[in-house]
Amino acid sequence: MARGSLTSRRETGAIKKKSKRDRGQEILDAAVDIFHANGYSATTIDDVANAVGILKGSLYYYINSKEDLLLRIVEEVHEEVEALMEEAVSRPDATPLERLAGYVESQVEYNALNVKRVRVYYHDYDQLSPDPLAVVRRRRRAAEQKITALLKEAKRAGEVPAGLDEKLASKSIFGSVIWMYTWFKPGGSASAQAYGSFCARFVLAGVRGGTVPVP
């Protein structure tokens, strides 16, 4: 085979692979919109196929099932959030509470910029089959344990009161960070960055036992 012919076939293969990846993301984005609007249980594969503009049979070239779509959305959120958390809590130049504030701020900003995905995650993840659901719950517990460990470190450093219940504080922090998906409106009076900053200060005031400065 001629060198030019081989190169051409490789380039063609790369284009096809990119096209499939792009269409796969388009399908995932459409699923997020429909799950967000109608709920996972009320959505059909036909709904997703129609939204993307392809036949139902063609959709199965990219996915295995409707649950596969939900699992991909959940995994995408997990991977992005875990990366945010790891970056914040592993900073060697920051105190425990500075790392906690960094995590809260970045997590809140992420939630505000990805309201639909976050809502689908928290509203529908428990509709996964037992095995993938167990994995999701394990990853959620691991995230909570990281924040609990960070609060314990802050206690040892004297940054928070000795009587702080780290597990209860961790659950309260996640409650503050997560619940915003039910009310936050992109483009509203508070930007993602402003709310992220406020929530970080709110959390620090809570674990320290202080008050929250008005922005």
Q: Which residues contact 93 (CB under 8 A, 6 or more apart)?
A: none
**Residue with structure tokens 């929530």?**
199
pLDDT of residue 209: 85
Q: 10-14, 39-43, 54-58, 170-174 — which is least confidently predicted?
A: 10-14
On the 0-12 / 13-18 / 19+ scale of CB atoms within 10 A, 11 is exposed
Q: What is the mean pLDDT of residues 123-134?
A: 96
pLDDT of residue 3: 43
End-to-end CA distance of the chain: 68
Give the span between the Cα atoms of 1 and 112, in whole angstroms: 54
On the 0-12 / 13-18 / 19+ scale of CB atoms within 10 A, 94 is middle
Tell me the CA distances in angstroms from 73 to 21, 97, 122, 128, 209, one per residue in order: 15, 31, 11, 11, 37
CATH code 1.10.10.60 for 1-63: yes
pLDDT of residue 111: 94
Q: pLDDT at residue 183 above 90?
A: no
Architecture of domain 65-215: Orthogonal Bundle (1.10)
pLDDT digits (tens, 9 = 90+) for 59-116: 989 999 999 999 999 999 999 999 999 999 999 999 999 999 999 999 999 999 999 9
Domain extent listing, the chain: 1-63, 65-215
